[in-house]
Amino acid sequence: MTQTRLLYRSENGDQWLLKRELEPGRVFVRHEPSPASGGRVADLEIGEFLIRGVYGPEHVELLRLIGSLVDQQGSTTERTVEGE
């Protein structure tokens, strides 16, 4: 099973999707070029996507989404993982 969230769609129809495959638990960004551009679909690991030489609105949205996971009130509550 795969879960998908649209990160950004450009004016020319390119779109970037955040995807999660429940098995094996892989999370990645998929770039789907517009049909008019004739490009190929590309899957990029999160780190690879963020360190590429470009920084566009699709990157801003991914970073905003990651930032939304942090308590906006500045909570210092930490979670512990069993076995640590």
pLDDT digits (tens), the chain, 84 positions: 899 999 999 999 999 999 999 888 899 999 999 998 889 999 999 999 999 878 899 999 999 999 998 866 566 566 656 665
Q: Residue 81: its pLDDT value, please? A: 60
What is the maximum span of the chain, computed from C-alpha positions, in angstroms? 51
> Is 29 a domain residue?
yes
> Is 13 a domain residue?
yes
> Is 81 a domain residue?
no
> Is 49 a domain residue?
yes
> Is 61 a domain residue?
yes
Number of folded domains in the chain? 1
What's the predicted TM-score (pTM) here?
0.77
Domain of residue 55 covers 2-67
Q: End-to-end alpha-carbon separation of the chain, Å?
A: 30
Beta bridge partners of 17: 6, 30
Q: Residue 74: its pLDDT value, please? A: 60
> Is 72 a domain residue?
no
Q: Residue 76: its pLDDT value, please? A: 59
> Is 19 a domain residue?
yes
> Is 76 a domain residue?
no
C-alpha–C-alpha distance, residues 26 and 61, integer Å: 19
CB 17 within 8 A of CB 5: yes
